[in-house]
Chains A and B, each alone.
Chain A
Amino acid sequence: MTGDDTKHLPLEDLHVAAGARFGAFAGWSMPLTYPAGVMKEHLHTREHAGLFDISHMKLFEISGSGAEALLNRACPFDAGALEISQSKYTFFLNEAAGIIDDLIVTRLGRQRFLVVANAGNAEADEKHLRQLALDFDANGEFDAKIEALDRVFLAIQGPEAWAALSRAGIETGSLLFMHGFEPRENWFMSRSGYTGEDGFEIGLPEAGARNLVAKLIEDERVMWVGLAARDSLRLEAGLCLHGLDITPEIDPASAGLMWAIPKEVRASGAFIGADALRAILERGPAQKRVGLKPEGRQPVRAGAALFDADGNPAGHVTSGGFGPSAAHPVAMGYVQASLAKPGAELFADVRGTKIPVDINPLPFTPHRYRKG
């Protein structure tokens, strides 16, 4: 991306005023850190509440009598099985069962769904959906409207997120993890997030967002948190970042994400990539995603090659850094299926030095979702 193409957050002035340091991510100028720094921002989120501006992510509304069929074609899930207000983590797959994007789909009404997509993939996702809708439309009767919503998107994450929202006048009481609804006109709020903590994501018009942020940020429990800590939080939580840990070349079986695909959908689903995925499951994936804990304090980062005890290539690291809550380096990557189990002897090459890494169960820090 050149400077001229860089997209700016609607609330950028608030981040500037808060002293944010900006960096480019997926075509956007994003706050990476605030003056507190990544370490404090990360730990504050786990202990209190972190406020994230994630307006680079895109919200789509899909509505009409064909919405369900369109989603069932695009995603390996059963849109019809979703209760109203229920959310589900799913993907767009290509014909080879590679992951085009990972998303959260929430059923808003009988024929209305909300899709949250990643920033870098939003345009391609929209094109993909529109093309699929056209494919259905042989006789001109297929009814699925795809609307990209113009919203500020905020996440408030951490054990005190609900209390801070309550003080700001937003009651979250009966909302459970992976559920979402429209509390006001043009608002969407779900109990979800990408930190492993209890928390909420709220899409809303800019004026309302400014009002809400002003109330939240004056609460001492709430701190702005940048993209750097968002990355360390999601990595500790064992959550995949599309473009690194999952890509159009990686299928859900290799990625260890089959929990997101119901058994009956695997067997009979007519989603794109179904045949390829069934073939992969039949022969077993050649490589698998695992958590990796490097020995010592030196971080092992994305791109590092992994070797077995005899020095043979064994895989590679897709995400890595330091886990402020785990208090040690944390990483994820892909290894040959035969080595993807605890106790496997693995080494990561970091600038010519072989660092021993242990296979570590994910997440590194326990999830603390409010499920009931």
Chain B
Amino acid sequence: MAKTYFTEDHEWLRVEGGIATVGITDYAQEQLGDLVFVELPELGKKLAKGDTAVVVESVKAASDVYAPVDGEITEANTALSSDPSLVNSAATGDGWLWKMKLADESQLEGLLDETAYKAHIG
């Protein structure tokens, strides 16, 4: 059974079998506006919590998306190469950014659940 976590940096993680699918929240995509490019991570890249995993670019600006936990990239959403606007239209679905194998599942305990995230964005 997959469980969904959130970060204060407006990312979501869906965790199943030690693998987290990561994306940005609907609130975040609204703030960024129309995306025109997503710089995807290399497979196998090891990231520590807080490292830049992906750069999303809107018409106006580039923004970093950070690794919410330690882990290794197992998949990147290549559909975004041809259609970055998926992040706008389906931020928590087809617009996911990458999947990572968790290095330390106990780090999940420090993240927000949906109720806490909703309170965070007000």
Contacts and interface: CB of A to CB of B under 8 A. Distances in A.
A38 B60 contact: yes
A322 interface: yes
Contact of B57 (A228, A299, A324): A299
Interface string A302-343: 000000000000000000011010000100000000000000
Contact of B33 (A228, A297, A329): A228
Contact of B62 (A32, A231, A232, A299): A299
B36 A228 contact: no
Contacts of B58: 38, 322
B55 A351 contact: yes
Contact of B59 (A297, A298, A321): A321
B34 A38 contact: yes
A37 B33 contact: yes
B36 A322 contact: yes
Contact of B60 (A228, A298, A351): A228
A298 B34 contact: no
B59 A228 contact: yes
Contacts of A32: 60
B37 A38 contact: no
A322 B84 CA distance: 13
Given A297-B36, A298-B37, A38 B57 contact: no
Contacts of A329: 36-37
A217 interface: no
A231 B36 contact: no
A301 interface: yes
Nearest to A32: B60
Q: Is the interface of A mostly helix, strand, loop or mixed?
A: mixed
A84 to B, nearest CB: 40
Contacts of B84: 297
A322 B39 contact: no
Contacts of B81: 297
Given A38-B59, A231-B60, A299-B62, A322 B37 contact: yes
A297 B37 contact: yes
Contacts of B57: 298-299, 322
A33 interface: yes
Contacts of A322: 36-37, 57-59
Interface in A180-216: none
Interface in B60-87: 60-62, 81, 84
Interface in B31-46: 33-34, 36-37, 39
Interface in A3-41: 32-33, 37-39
A37 B36 contact: no
Contacts of A299: 36-37, 57, 62
A348 to B, nearest CB: 13
Contacts of A231: 60
A37 B58 CA distance: 11
B37 A321 contact: no
Given A38-B58, A322-B57, A33 B36 contact: no
B33 A298 contact: no
A232 B81 CA distance: 22
Contacts of B34: 37-39
Nearest to A324: B59
Contacts of A321: 59-60
Nearest to A297: B37
B79 to A, nearest CB: 14
B33 A33 contact: yes
A301 B33 contact: no
B64 to A, nearest CB: 10
A223 to B, nearest CB: 15
Given A42-B59, A297-B84, A298-B39, 8 more contacts: A32-B60, A37-B33, A38-B60, A39-B33, A228-B59, A232-B59, A301-B62, A324-B59
Interface of B: 33-34, 36-37, 39, 55, 57-62, 81, 84
In order of increasing CB-CB distance, the 3 nearest A-B pairs are A322-B36, A39-B34, A38-B59
